[in-house]
Amino acid sequence: MSKSESRQRNDRVIFRLTAEEKVRFEKFCQASGLSKSDYFRKKCLEEKALRKRKTPNIETETLLKTLAQIGKVGGNLNQIARELNMGYLPITDELQLTLNQIRQLRLEIRKALGYGD
């Protein structure tokens, strides 16, 4: 089935499960690496699954979330830098140290994720 044909799937099938069945179903889906829909189609309709879903491991997911949070801190630092450049705030040794530590932390996380420099 081509991708354009798969996009034509707009009918829904709803079925009920017990709490235990739901847990088992979700474990099977996760173990197969398939979405719930693809897993269902593969098992019930004997169709070839469209694709495996990439799920990052816990460490990678945590590092990505941390990197995102650091990005938010970077936005705040940008606002501080703007104030510094306009001469409204003096640059202090403590601020410079913090900026350097954040740069180093970002580099270490990116290296752990395999992004290099």
- Domain coordinates in residue numbering, the chain: 13-53, 58-112
Return d(Cα 42, Cα 34) in angstroms, integer. Answer: 9
pLDDT in tens, 38-73: 888 888 887 665 555 566 667 777 888 888 888 888
pLDDT in tens, 21-36: 999 988 888 888 888 8
Q: What is the mean pLDDT of residues 73-82?
A: 80
| Nearest to 106, CA basis, from 68, 76, 80 | 68
SS3 annotation, 2-35:
CHHHHCCCCCCCCCCCCHHHHHHHHHHHHHHCCC
Does the predicted model carry a pTM greater than 0.85?
no
Confidence at residue 51, expressed as pLDDT on a 0 to 100 scale: 59
